[in-house]
Amino acid sequence: MNVLIAGAGIGGPTLAYWLRRAGYEITIVERSPELRRGGYIVDFWGAGFDVADQMGIVPELTRAGYHLGEIRQVGDDGRKITSFDPELFVRGTGGRYVSIARSDLAAIIYGALDGRVETLFGDSVRALDDDGARVRVTFESGTTRDFDLVVGADGLHSQVRHLVFGPEEQFEKFLGITVAAFDIEGYRPRDELVAVMHTQVGYQVTRLALRDDITMFLVTFVDDGSVANQGVNAQQAALRARLAGAGWEIPEIIEGMSAARTFYCDRVSQIRMPSWTRGRVALLGDAAACVSLLAGQGSALAMVEAYVLAAELARAHGNHTEAFARYEQQLAPFLVSKQEAAIKLAPAFAPRSRLQLFLRNSIMKMFGLPFVAKLAMGKSLRDAIELPPPAAA
């Protein structure tokens, strides 16, 4: 069987890895001219870590990742309000936890394909025609090819989803927060392996020093969703206006933003669909069931979805109808529970009132007490899912 995977992010190359092992012929199409660089740091743990382990890439992830020593909350004057040791996440997962740049994670997964998967960079799917026996794909470049299956792993704003299931608005659940992530070279001060956070009613700014004198900033702010629809200059202008008069280092951060190496801004949204498959087309990762950054687990979940989809296709000997049904049955309730849990965390990223800010800071203070943190985090650090046996030829 030959399969077209749209998207060389996290889920797409993971699916390619496992399907290739099961003897499938894979083509990946990626809109960017090369693997995407820069961007934000993701926390990587849970069942997705187990998938990475089975792919043999954990040593590389550990080398490329960061083990933070402190999560620190600071006030307007920069003084510490509270802090805790994120080691509790590492211990709570039995050491199976790493913070890593999303682009490094994606590159390591792609590297596991050993260059043996055809990848069409700088192209995209323009049209799909599923006639029941195969899918005829017309690419933006103008070429047309036939595939047995097509999988959309093309992220939150999936084109495959748009073409097969309809407009994004039907499925997007906007969570009332917009995120901006950018990185600045040579920013000072640096606090090595410390995530420094400043939170006020309406927004949060996080600073994290990375290797090679790069500092990453993550801004989450209450919004009606319109900022993300604009161009980069207008997005940065909106951010400047939103944070005007703010304390801590925010004036310097905002000034440095215009010289950022990479700048990303988008709505914090989830994707909720009644089904992720139709005919010979399936979706996975953010395209299918984005949990949003509030979940702190979207990458790991995209890998779990890819692994399960490949395992089910191999188990059903290519009977995609059977495999797609089992893929959805196993994962849909699990992902909805992750989405519900994520929504409850919204006030921690952008409190809407002084009361929410107070509660957020009080909970963070309690995290400084290891036994409270252990009690609070214990259950949420275990994924309620059992992985099926891996896809094999």
Ligand X SMILES: Cc1cc2nc3c(=O)[nH]c(=O)nc-3n(C[C@H](O)[C@H](O)[C@H](O)COP(=O)(O)OP(=O)(O)OC[C@H]3O[C@@H](n4cnc5c(N)ncnc54)[C@H](O)[C@@H]3O)c2cc1C
Cβ closest to ligand X, residue 74 vs residue 98:
98
The stretch among 231-239, 244-252, 279-287, 377-385 that binds ligand X (CB under 6 A) is 279-287
Would you call the peptide bond into 274 cis, given omega within 30 degrees of 0 as the criterion?
A: no
* Residue number with CB closer to ligand X (200 or 269): 269
Q: Which amino acid is at 390?
A: P
Neighbour-count burial for 146-159, b at 16+ CB within 10 Å, e otherwise: ebbbbbbbbbbbbb
Judged by beta carbon, residue 179 or residue 208, the one nearer ligand X is 179
**Is 300 one of the binding residues for ligand X (CB under 6 A)?**
yes
Of the two residues 318 and 337, which places its CB atom closer to ligand X in the complex?
337
Sequence-ordered list of residues with C-beta below 8 angstroms from that of 16, at least 6 positions apart, any chain: 5, 26, 28, 113, 117
Question: Which x/- pattern over 107-146 shows residues binding ligand X (rule: CB under 6 A)?
Answer: -----------------xx---------------------
Q: Is 126 or 240 the residue whose CB approaches ligand X more closely?
A: 126
CB atoms within 10 A of CB 377: 16
Confirm or reject binding of residue 198 to ligand X (CB under 6 A): no
By the rule CB under 6 A, 100 interacts with ligand X: no
Q: Does 86 bind ligand X (CB under 6 A)?
A: no
Place of tokens 């890895």: 17
Do residues 298 and 155 lie in contact, with contact meaning Cβ atoms separated by under 8 Å? Answer: no
Residue 1 CB burial class (10 angstroms; 0-12, 13-18, ≥19)? middle
Stretches 42-50, 63-71, 79-87, 186-194: which one binds ligand X (CB under 6 A)? 42-50
Q: Is 7 in the site for ligand X (CB under 6 A)?
A: yes
Based on CB atoms, which residue is closest to ligand X, 179 or 254?
Answer: 179
Q: Does 29 bind ligand X (CB under 6 A)?
A: yes
Which residues in the 218-257 window bind ligand X by CB under 6 A? 218
Return all residues near 250 (Cβ < 8 A) that are at least 6 apart.
Answer: 198, 205, 243
CB of 128 vs ligand X, minimal distance in Å: 12
- 207: CB partners within 8 A, 6+ apart: 187, 191, 195, 196, 197, 215, 216, 217, 249, 253
Residue for token digits 């039907």?
Answer: 170
Interface residue list for ligand X (CB under 6 A): 6-12, 29-32, 36, 40, 42-44, 102, 124-125, 153-155, 159, 179, 181, 218, 285-287, 293, 296-300, 302
